[in-house]
Structure 1
Amino acid sequence: MPETDPLTWARDHTPVLESLREEFGESQPLSGYTVAFASHLEAKTGVAIETLHAAGAEVLFAPSEPQSTHGDVVDALEAHDGITAFAWEGMTDAEFDEAQHDLLEHEPDFILDDGCELIAKVHADHPEVAANVIGGGEQTTAGITRLEAMDEEGVLAFPVYGVNDTPMKHFFDNVHGTGESALTNVAITTNSLVSGRDVVVCGYGYCGRGIARKARGMGAQTIVTEADPRKALEAHMDGHRVMDMDEAAEAGELFITATGNRDVIRERHFERMPDGAVICNAGHFDVEIEVGALEALAEKTTTPKEGITRYHLPDGRELNLLAEGRLVNLTGPYSQGHPAEVMDTTFAMMFTAAYDMLADGTDLDPGLYTVPDRLDRAVASRKLDTLGLSTEGLTDRQQAYYEEWEHPDSSF
């Protein structure tokens, strides 16, 4: 291990993962299995990989985004026998893609994924490997969208738990993790206030509502754009102004995309934006902002500050893009991803998904599955224990009241 361990602080703030290491470190229920893990390779991910390894698994890991890899974390993990890296800091997009294929050629038994990177590749390019994979888990909204398409087409070769859609993931990681980390990294990168600014949040799913809610809490004037009328109405009822993107482009000063779709901010919107607008992406893939169109509009680009690309337009306006349109909370020069406390529960859910299919022997047909409620509740209970909090227990009469559909009288 290096003299300064880059995982120390993350370990200090991931007590649920610590409890899993303590519980399964001796019995090692994942012994004999090889688990592939794709995610943003920073300290919290390192602790999750350590936890799987402590439970007996051989772990192969690769990045889910080429520019979010921390070299010191990779080095610390590779110091363990039984943990193998397919990653290094500063990877190109081509090297990132090749490394993921290299990992899959080592024939993992289970795949824990981010953005459906490994699961999509193993089906498309390594079907002989996919045929022997026992199962998988997916932790992102973007990945679930891809898996839903695969499931609809009937091409999934093994069962996958949709970890992203569990309450312990989307109510906490997506809302609080994305909300805080996106705005924190915008503020650090720009060294400017969020308070008092007109902030446009594109998308009002769990991530978007977290960003919008926390931006309002910081004093911003919030605007939401949405394609789904129900989510747009929800944003309105939550107190945000709701507009289409054409109108929002003229009204906003800071733009944050969180839709999981492509070309959300495009040429017609750049043409409407005010001078000095700041644009960034909090969605998984770097397709939400049409960067090529912005480059085509600009006469030149400059770098006024690390992590900021300034596009100088012919009419004199200057538009500022953060982190090259990639994930602002993970690929900017100062980015460290979500707070450790919230990733603690997300990675605990990923661990639980692997444990349930491998150690508990849950037998499922190929397809995309909701994580059983009992597993989600178990992780929530672990988290409460680490916080020293407790829940109210039901009396026998209360439990019976839930289970009796007739409720014949008040004396029941």
Structure 2
Amino acid sequence: MKEVELTGPEGADPLAWTRESTPLLRGLADDLRRAEPFAGMTAAVASHLEPKTGVFIETVAAGGADVLFTGSDPDSGHEAVIDHLDDQPGLEAFAAEGMTEAELDEQHHRLLDREPDLLFDDGCVLAAKLHDSHGDALDSVVGVAEQTTSGVHRLEAMAADDVLAVPAFAVNHTPMKRRFDNVHGTGESAVSNVQLTANRIVSGETVVVAGYGHVGRGVAEKARGIGAHTVVVEVDPRKALEAHMDGHRVASMADAAADGDVFVTATGVRDVVREEHFREMHDDVLLANAGHYDVEIDVDALRGLAESTSTPRAGVTRFHLPDGRRLNLFAEGRLVNLSGPYSQGHPAAVMDSTFAMMTVAGRELVEADLSPAVHAVPDRLDREVARKKADAVGVPVEDRTDEQAAYLDDWRRE
């Protein structure tokens, strides 16, 4: 694949700036060019088609694969990135900026008609459709690498229903993805996009976070770190206790609805903020979603309550209620950090680790003989990426002495 220089105006190469912040992917690309583990294969990538994903697609192609790429959300694709990649040999776009849900679905099926060998998925959008509508192509699929919480949940549901016919790696659940991308990537980018889109200060405001998984924890920590009062809503008693011990106020959504200034959902389930909550909210609250799908805020119920809507700022829909209150919804309930007009997604340095994990998981799927199931990414691969990332950012890592290693291996420990 043709190498593109980092120099020159950004418009000539929309990935140039991002490549500078992705040393793991650059190093992996060099390794893959030598080994070509994907030679002769067709890989499919579904993700948010912005610059970090572009560098990831280049990295997979460096391993010898032809890459078919598509979006995982209709509103998160960047035209410049899509066009740039589509112009490269061996890369083919099944996406366009500003697609509708129906258009994106059609592109997914067109891609799967090409019978790819390896899937790099986001939200299980390709794997689910592969099993549901393209059964004839299953025999050629080596496996799936899935990068999101919601996508892993869908794969696990497929396995529980005895439907999953190919091996899948739960990349989202490996430490080098979950501890950094979910906590710091989503947490930081969700809060910053709320601030940028609304042009409001969050310090001193009450931010209600629905869900205290890794994403919700990140949102709550980042919001509190800049001075917000944080309230966490949780259905899992263990996570609720964790939020309490971390210093957040824990409440039901029914109780939090009247107090919140900003609401951010991060649960992976539908109708977390719904009609009875909208009725209790005060004027001019901000509603944002950080979960993968646009179902966490019941937008239909909100529309049914409103007598009219307006667009006070790009990326914000204001719902005017009959009593004069105004409720402001970001990005139509889609991912606030990826679907808004100011959205840049996660910082490149975080996605460097995530897409490195996706790449090595894909390499492992090709090289290993795995059964159809949802598999944990081997710890050795996670540690491989962690060590390279630490070296890249100059973080020293202590080595154990021989005596310490022997001590850990000796159950007697005399």
RMSD, aligned α-carbons: 1.0
Cα shift readout 1:1-47 (whole Å, capped 9, x = no counterpart): 89621101110111100111122223322111111100000000000
Partner of 2:388: 382
Distance in 2 between the 1:24 and 1:96 partners? 30
Partner of 2:22: 14
Partner of 2:295: 287
Partner of 1:403: 409
Distance in 2 between the 1:136 and 1:379 partners? 19
Partner of 2:180: 172
Partner of 2:369: 363
Partner of 1:213: 221
1:369 is matched by which residue type in structure 2? H
Partner of 2:82: 74
Partner of 2:359: 351
1:372 is matched by which residue type in structure 2? P
- The structure-2 alpha-carbon separation of the partners of 1:286 and 1:3, relative to structure 1 and needing over 3 Å to count, comes to closer
> Is structure 2 residue 47 aligned with structure 1 residue 39?
yes
Give secondary structure in 2 for the equivalent of 1:301. Answer: strand
Distance in 1 between the 2:398 and 2:320 partners? 59
Partner of 2:206: 198
Give secondary structure in 1 for the equivalent of 2:338. Answer: helix
2:377 is matched by which residue type in structure 1? V
Distance in 2 between the 1:308 and 1:156 partners? 39
> Is structure 2 residue 112 aligned with structure 1 residue 98?
no
1:382 is matched by which residue type in structure 2? K
Give secondary structure in 1 for the equivalent of 2:327. Answer: strand
Cα shift readout 1:123-149 (whole Å, capped 9, x = no counterpart): 000011123211111000010111111
Equivalent position to 1:149, from 157, 177, 180: 157
Distance in 1 between the 2:118 and 2:409 partners? 38
Partner of 2:61: 53
Deviation at 1:80, TM superposition (A): 1.0
Distance in 1 between the 2:32 and 2:153 partners? 32
1:310 is matched by which residue type in structure 2? R
Give secondary structure in 2 for the equivalent of 1:68. Answer: coil
Stretches of structure 2 that go unaligned for 5 or more consecutive residues are 5-9
Give secondary structure in 1 for the equivalent of 2:244. Answer: helix
Deviation at 1:394, TM superposition (A): 1.1
Partner of 1:107: 115
Deviation at 1:153, TM superposition (A): 1.3
Please list every run of at least 4 consecutive aligned residues from structure 1 whose deviation after the TM superposition is greater than 3 angstroms: none
1:29 is matched by which residue type in structure 2? P
Partner of 1:326: 334
Give secondary structure in 2 for the equivalent of 1:250. Answer: coil
Partner of 2:283: 275
Cα shift readout 1:256-277 (whole Å, capped 9, x = no counterpart): 0000110000000000001111
Distance in 2 between the 1:34 and 1:334 partners? 33
Give secondary structure in 2 for the equivalent of 1:397. Answer: helix
Distance in 1 between the 2:242 and 2:189 partners? 23
Distance in 1 between the 2:393 and 2:11 partners? 30
- The 5-angstrom pairing of residues 201-280 of structure 1 reads 201-280=209-288
Distance in 2 between the 1:341 and 1:44 partners? 9
2:339 is matched by which residue type in structure 1? T
Give secondary structure in 2 for the equivalent of 1:179. Answer: helix
- Number of aligned positions between the proteins: 406
Partner of 2:7: none
Distance in 1 between the 2:360 and 2:315 partners? 36
Equivalent position to 2:346, from 334, 338, 349: 338
2:376 is matched by which residue type in structure 1? T
> Is structure 2 residue 95 aligned with structure 1 residue 87?
yes
What percentage of residue pairs aligned between the two structures are identical?
Answer: 58
Distance in 1 between the 2:78 and 2:207 partners? 30
1:214 is matched by which residue type in structure 2? K
Distance in 2 between the 1:175 and 1:51 partners? 25
Distance in 1 between the 2:33 and 2:393 partners? 22
2:28 is matched by which residue type in structure 1? L
2:167 is matched by which residue type in structure 1? P
Deviation at 1:311, TM superposition (A): 0.5
1:189 is matched by which residue type in structure 2? T
- The 5-angstrom pairing of residues 181-192 of structure 1 reads 181-192=189-200
Deviation at 1:154, TM superposition (A): 1.4
Give secondary structure in 2 for the equivalent of 1:67. Answer: coil
